[in-house]
Amino acid sequence: MSERENILGRIREALQTKAPLPGPHQARGTVMPAVPAIRKWLPPVGTSAEEQTVLFAQNAADLKADFQLFASADELKTALVKVRDAEKWRRIASHGGVLSDFACQALGLPVVLTDRSYHVQEMEQCDVAITECDLLVAQTGGVVVTSRSAGGRALSVLPPHHVVIARRDQLVADLPAAFSRLQQKYAPDYPSMISFITGPSRTGDIERILVLGAHGPKRLTVFCL
Protein backbone atom coordinates (compact mmCIF):
# COMPACT_ATOMS: atom_id res chain seq x y z
CA MET A 1 0.00 0.00 0.00
CA SER A 2 1.28 3.49 -0.79
CA GLU A 3 1.93 6.07 1.91
CA ARG A 4 -0.94 8.09 0.48
CA GLU A 5 -3.34 5.27 1.23
CA ASN A 6 -1.75 4.68 4.65
CA ILE A 7 -2.15 8.29 5.70
CA LEU A 8 -5.66 8.66 4.29
CA GLY A 9 -6.58 5.35 5.95
CA ARG A 10 -5.38 6.55 9.35
CA ILE A 11 -7.24 9.83 8.90
CA ARG A 12 -10.49 8.05 7.99
CA GLU A 13 -10.18 5.71 10.91
CA ALA A 14 -9.56 8.60 13.31
CA LEU A 15 -12.52 10.55 11.93
CA GLN A 16 -14.94 7.70 12.67
CA THR A 17 -15.38 9.41 16.03
CA LYS A 18 -16.83 12.90 15.79
CA ALA A 19 -15.21 15.79 17.62
CA PRO A 20 -17.47 18.26 19.45
CA LEU A 21 -18.07 21.48 17.55
CA PRO A 22 -15.99 24.43 18.72
CA GLY A 23 -17.25 27.21 20.96
CA PRO A 24 -20.71 27.92 22.32
CA HIS A 25 -22.72 27.29 19.14
CA GLN A 26 -22.79 23.52 19.25
CA ALA A 27 -26.52 23.27 18.66
CA ARG A 28 -26.26 24.92 15.25
CA GLY A 29 -26.64 22.59 12.29
CA THR A 30 -24.02 24.13 10.05
CA VAL A 31 -20.55 24.96 11.23
CA MET A 32 -18.72 26.76 8.43
CA PRO A 33 -19.24 30.52 8.47
CA ALA A 34 -20.55 31.77 5.13
CA VAL A 35 -17.96 33.85 3.27
CA PRO A 36 -19.98 37.10 3.52
CA ALA A 37 -20.01 36.66 7.32
CA ILE A 38 -16.24 36.97 7.45
CA ARG A 39 -16.53 40.57 6.24
CA LYS A 40 -18.56 41.57 9.27
CA TRP A 41 -15.75 40.83 11.73
CA LEU A 42 -12.84 42.43 9.84
CA PRO A 43 -11.75 46.06 10.36
CA PRO A 44 -14.30 48.60 9.01
CA VAL A 45 -13.72 50.09 5.56
CA GLY A 46 -16.42 52.73 5.07
CA THR A 47 -18.92 52.70 2.24
CA SER A 48 -17.90 55.16 -0.48
CA ALA A 49 -14.99 54.97 -2.90
CA GLU A 50 -13.65 58.27 -1.49
CA GLU A 51 -13.57 56.90 2.05
CA GLN A 52 -11.80 53.80 0.85
CA THR A 53 -9.21 55.81 -1.05
CA VAL A 54 -8.49 57.81 2.11
CA LEU A 55 -8.30 54.56 4.11
CA PHE A 56 -5.87 53.04 1.62
CA ALA A 57 -3.67 56.13 1.84
CA GLN A 58 -3.69 56.01 5.66
CA ASN A 59 -2.89 52.31 5.81
CA ALA A 60 -0.14 52.61 3.20
CA ALA A 61 1.41 55.45 5.22
CA ASP A 62 1.32 53.28 8.39
CA LEU A 63 3.19 50.59 6.45
CA LYS A 64 5.79 53.15 5.31
CA ALA A 65 4.77 52.78 1.67
CA ASP A 66 4.45 55.88 -0.56
CA PHE A 67 1.04 56.33 -2.11
CA GLN A 68 0.06 59.07 -4.52
CA LEU A 69 -3.07 59.59 -6.56
CA PHE A 70 -2.87 61.48 -9.84
CA ALA A 71 -5.51 63.29 -11.86
CA SER A 72 -3.67 62.92 -15.16
CA ALA A 73 -0.96 60.96 -16.94
CA ASP A 74 1.18 64.11 -17.02
CA GLU A 75 1.14 64.39 -13.25
CA LEU A 76 2.17 60.74 -12.97
CA LYS A 77 5.03 61.35 -15.37
CA THR A 78 6.25 64.35 -13.39
CA ALA A 79 6.16 62.35 -10.15
CA LEU A 80 8.08 59.44 -11.69
CA VAL A 81 10.78 61.73 -13.04
CA LYS A 82 11.07 63.38 -9.63
CA VAL A 83 11.70 60.07 -7.84
CA ARG A 84 14.11 58.99 -10.60
CA ASP A 85 16.21 62.11 -10.08
CA ALA A 86 16.01 61.99 -6.30
CA GLU A 87 17.16 58.37 -6.14
CA LYS A 88 19.50 58.62 -9.14
CA TRP A 89 18.07 55.61 -10.97
CA ARG A 90 20.20 54.40 -13.82
CA ARG A 91 18.52 51.22 -14.85
CA ILE A 92 14.99 49.88 -14.46
CA ALA A 93 13.37 46.46 -14.60
CA SER A 94 9.83 46.14 -15.83
CA HIS A 95 7.37 44.16 -17.92
CA GLY A 96 5.08 44.90 -20.87
CA GLY A 97 1.73 46.55 -20.10
CA VAL A 98 -0.15 49.76 -20.82
CA LEU A 99 0.79 51.47 -17.56
CA SER A 100 4.26 50.00 -17.14
CA ASP A 101 5.18 50.89 -20.75
CA PHE A 102 4.00 54.42 -20.12
CA ALA A 103 6.14 54.64 -16.98
CA CYS A 104 9.24 53.26 -18.69
CA GLN A 105 8.87 55.71 -21.54
CA ALA A 106 8.41 58.59 -19.13
CA LEU A 107 11.61 57.65 -17.32
CA GLY A 108 13.71 57.25 -20.45
CA LEU A 109 16.24 54.85 -18.88
CA PRO A 110 17.61 51.47 -20.03
CA VAL A 111 15.05 48.78 -19.22
CA VAL A 112 15.40 45.08 -18.42
CA LEU A 113 12.12 43.53 -19.53
CA THR A 114 10.96 40.22 -18.10
CA ASP A 115 8.49 39.41 -20.86
CA ARG A 116 10.85 36.95 -22.46
CA SER A 117 13.76 35.32 -20.70
CA TYR A 118 15.87 37.65 -18.62
CA HIS A 119 19.13 37.35 -16.66
CA VAL A 120 18.69 37.35 -12.92
CA GLN A 121 22.03 39.11 -12.39
CA GLU A 122 20.93 41.87 -14.75
CA MET A 123 17.70 42.35 -12.86
CA GLU A 124 19.57 42.35 -9.58
CA GLN A 125 21.63 45.33 -10.83
CA CYS A 126 18.50 47.41 -11.50
CA ASP A 127 17.66 50.29 -9.17
CA VAL A 128 13.92 49.88 -9.40
CA ALA A 129 11.21 47.49 -10.53
CA ILE A 130 8.16 48.99 -12.19
CA THR A 131 5.13 46.72 -12.29
CA GLU A 132 1.41 46.80 -12.70
CA CYS A 133 -0.85 45.05 -10.23
CA ASP A 134 -4.21 43.34 -9.94
CA LEU A 135 -5.73 45.04 -6.94
CA LEU A 136 -5.27 47.59 -4.19
CA VAL A 137 -6.88 46.65 -0.89
CA ALA A 138 -8.17 49.60 1.16
CA GLN A 139 -8.55 47.54 4.34
CA THR A 140 -4.83 46.72 4.51
CA GLY A 141 -3.12 49.36 2.36
CA GLY A 142 -1.55 46.57 0.33
CA VAL A 143 -1.39 45.60 -3.35
CA VAL A 144 -2.01 42.26 -5.03
CA VAL A 145 0.30 41.12 -7.81
CA THR A 146 0.43 37.83 -9.72
CA SER A 147 3.02 36.07 -11.82
CA ARG A 148 0.86 37.00 -14.83
CA SER A 149 0.04 40.64 -14.12
CA ALA A 150 3.35 41.87 -12.65
CA GLY A 151 6.14 40.43 -14.79
CA GLY A 152 6.69 37.09 -13.07
CA ARG A 153 7.72 36.01 -9.60
CA ALA A 154 11.04 37.78 -9.02
CA LEU A 155 10.47 41.25 -10.45
CA SER A 156 8.43 42.59 -7.53
CA VAL A 157 10.95 41.45 -4.88
CA LEU A 158 14.46 41.54 -6.36
CA PRO A 159 15.25 45.25 -7.03
CA PRO A 160 15.57 47.55 -3.99
CA HIS A 161 12.61 49.77 -4.90
CA HIS A 162 9.25 48.50 -6.17
CA VAL A 163 7.02 51.01 -7.94
CA VAL A 164 3.47 49.86 -8.63
CA ILE A 165 1.47 51.71 -11.25
CA ALA A 166 -2.24 51.16 -10.59
CA ARG A 167 -5.61 52.36 -11.78
CA ARG A 168 -8.33 53.70 -9.49
CA ASP A 169 -10.77 50.96 -10.47
CA GLN A 170 -8.35 48.39 -9.07
CA LEU A 171 -9.10 49.52 -5.53
CA VAL A 172 -11.30 47.08 -3.59
CA ALA A 173 -12.74 47.69 -0.15
CA ASP A 174 -11.66 44.66 1.83
CA LEU A 175 -9.96 41.26 1.78
CA PRO A 176 -13.11 39.21 0.99
CA ALA A 177 -13.66 41.48 -2.03
CA ALA A 178 -10.06 40.95 -3.11
CA PHE A 179 -10.39 37.16 -3.00
CA SER A 180 -13.69 37.22 -4.86
CA ARG A 181 -12.23 39.53 -7.57
CA LEU A 182 -9.28 37.16 -8.02
CA GLN A 183 -11.67 34.22 -8.28
CA GLN A 184 -13.82 35.98 -10.88
CA LYS A 185 -10.83 37.02 -12.91
CA TYR A 186 -8.82 33.79 -12.92
CA ALA A 187 -10.68 30.67 -11.72
CA PRO A 188 -9.96 27.90 -12.49
CA ASP A 189 -6.73 28.87 -14.31
CA TYR A 190 -4.93 30.84 -11.59
CA PRO A 191 -1.48 32.35 -12.11
CA SER A 192 1.04 30.10 -10.39
CA MET A 193 1.81 32.90 -7.91
CA ILE A 194 -0.57 35.39 -6.31
CA SER A 195 1.04 37.70 -3.79
CA PHE A 196 -0.56 40.12 -1.32
CA ILE A 197 2.17 42.71 -0.75
CA THR A 198 1.47 44.81 2.32
CA GLY A 199 4.23 47.37 2.63
CA PRO A 200 7.95 47.18 1.86
CA SER A 201 9.96 44.12 2.99
CA ARG A 202 10.69 44.22 6.72
CA THR A 203 12.15 42.32 9.64
CA GLY A 204 12.20 42.62 13.40
CA ASP A 205 14.51 39.73 14.01
CA ILE A 206 17.14 41.80 15.80
CA GLU A 207 15.75 42.89 19.16
CA ARG A 208 12.27 43.23 17.59
CA ILE A 209 13.38 46.52 16.03
CA LEU A 210 11.79 47.28 12.66
CA VAL A 211 14.18 47.36 9.70
CA LEU A 212 12.91 47.85 6.14
CA GLY A 213 14.36 45.97 3.17
CA ALA A 214 15.28 42.65 4.74
CA HIS A 215 15.42 40.67 1.49
CA GLY A 216 12.80 42.31 -0.69
CA PRO A 217 12.47 46.01 -1.61
CA LYS A 218 13.38 48.69 0.92
CA ARG A 219 10.84 50.99 -0.62
CA LEU A 220 7.36 50.43 -2.02
CA THR A 221 5.70 53.16 -4.03
CA VAL A 222 2.12 52.99 -5.27
CA PHE A 223 1.27 55.49 -7.99
CA CYS A 224 -2.41 55.44 -8.84
CA LEU A 225 -3.94 57.05 -11.90
Residues 64-93 that bind another protein (CB under 8 A): none
Residues 123-152 that bind another protein (CB under 8 A): 124, 140-142, 147-148, 151-152
In whole angstroms, the minimum distance from the beta carbon of 135 to another protein comes to: 12
Taking the least distance from each CB to another protein, the nearer of 7 and 49 is 7
Of 49, 45, 43, 84, nearest to 69 by C-alpha is 49
**Chain-centre distance of CA 182, in angstroms?**
12
Q: How many other CB atoms are there within 10 angstroms of residue 94's CB atom?
A: 28
Among 104, 197, 222, 224, binds another protein (CB under 8 A): 197
In whole angstroms, the minimum distance from the beta carbon of 207 to another protein comes to: 6
Residue 144 to residues 56, 97, 166, Cα–Cα distance (Å): 13, 16, 10
Q: What distance separates the 2 farthest-apart alpha carbons in the chain?
A: 67
Strand residues in 134-192 grouped as ranges (E): 135-137, 142-146, 161-166, 171-172
| Pair 92, 107: CB distance under 8 Å | yes
17 touching another protein, by CB under 8 A: yes
CA distance 12 to 2: 15
1 touching another protein, by CB under 8 A: no
Among 195, 221, 222, 224, binds another protein (CB under 8 A): 195
In whole angstroms, the minimum distance from the beta carbon of 60 to another protein comes to: 11
58 touching another protein, by CB under 8 A: no
Of 73-81, 82-90, 163-171, 198-206: span binding another protein (CB under 8 A): 198-206
Query: By rule CB under 8 A, what count of residues binds another protein?
Result: 91
Of 85-93, 102-110, 126-134, 168-176: span binding another protein (CB under 8 A): 168-176
3-state secondary structure of 143: strand
